[in-house]
Structure formats: structure tokens, C-alpha cells
Amino acid sequence: MLALALGATVAVVLAAVTAGGTYAFLRSSAQSAGATLVGGTATLVVTTPLALPSTALYPGQTVSGSGTVRNTGAVPLRLRIAGLTQSTTVNPFTSALTVGVAIGASAAACSAGFTPTWTATFAAVVPTELTVRLAPGDSAVVCVSVSLPLDAPAGANAQAGAGFSLVLDGRQVP
């Protein structure tokens, strides 16, 4: 009987060593006083699409416009820039562009010029949370600028502009 038990133990140890991993039963619990768990839908929609002027863009020049987003969900959201993508073939002109974003008081304030709180090029985009918090039903005007720097490469001359997408999302906040 002892030999049978020893054989079973060796088989279990061998199986654990061969299969890798552990065979542990883990259990943990914690209590929190006064905690509230909130759930619901998180929905962010574009109510006014981004509109930028179609004027020629020369080195050192910036064009700006705006779009509006609305929280149609049931939970508060903090706006986040999740990405910046080109919708057409990359060329020296679009590679040189800098895109800026800020939250504006109105579309008119965006058109009059603004100081971006976030900037990126298509080659270097860092997802970033913006400072605006949208309660359910609230909207925000998103100001967007597109700049061609003074030191744009010579290959950017006479190149066609490309469409792009500024990807926004929302993160649930208390």
C-alpha cells in the first residue's frame, strides 16, 4: 500500500514538472466601507463632424476648425485622444504636418485661433487624456489645427494633402 501511495505521489509531481505551472488554490477577498459601484453604457458620438478650411497650406501656416462630440451614454466620460491616422498614401507633405487639439468654448473660438493642449505628427502619436469631463448628455467642442512647419522638407512642395482621422474615445470616470 505504501508503494502504491509513493507511486501516485511521484506521478503527480512528475505531471506538475512536465506540464509546468502550479497547482495551487488561491483565494482572496477584501472589504471596503462606503464603496459605490456604478455601471452603465458609455457612448461618445460625433454630432458635428470636423470641418477644416480647404485653403492651401504653406510653410509656417496653420489652419484650424472644429467638431463637436456628445456623451450619449449613461456614465460620465473623460475625453481621450486615442490615435491619429492617415486615410491615404503617405507623402512628404502629410508626413511634415503637425496636428493640434484643444477643447474650445465654441466653434468660433476654434476658428479664431487657439493654443493646442495636444500636438502630434502622424509618425509620433501618444494617446492622451484631455482635461474635459463629459457628464451624460454633455457636449464638447474639439478644436483641431493642422500646421506645416517652416522647416518642412523640400519634397513637401506641390504635394496633395491627405485625409486623416483623429480618433477620440472616452474613459469612464466617477
36-60 pLDDT, tens digit each: 666 678 889 999 999 888 888 889 9
Other beta carbons within 10 angstroms of residue 156's beta carbon come to 18
Q: What is the pLDDT of residue 31?
A: 66
Structure confidence at residue 103 (pLDDT): 95
- CA 103 – CA 100 distance, rounded (Å): 11
Using alpha carbons, list the distances in angstroms from residue 172 to 43, 84, 127, 135, 164. 10, 21, 16, 10, 26
- pLDDT value of residue 35: 63
Query: In this structure, are residues 118 and 101 in contact, taking their beta carbons and an 8 Å threshold?
Result: yes
pLDDT at 78: 94
Q: Where are the domains of the chain?
A: 44-172
Q: What percent of the chain has pLDDT over 70?
A: 78
Q: In a 3-state reduction of DSSP, which class is residue 66?
A: strand
Number of H helices, E strands in the chain: 3, 8
Q: For residue 155, name the pLDDT band (cuts at 50, 70, 90).
A: confident
Report residue 7's pLDDT band, with 50, 70 and 90 as the boundaries.
very low
Mean pLDDT of 109-116: 88
Highest mean predicted confidence (pLDDT) among 51-65, 132-146, 160-174 = 132-146
Return the CATH class of domain 44-172: mainly beta
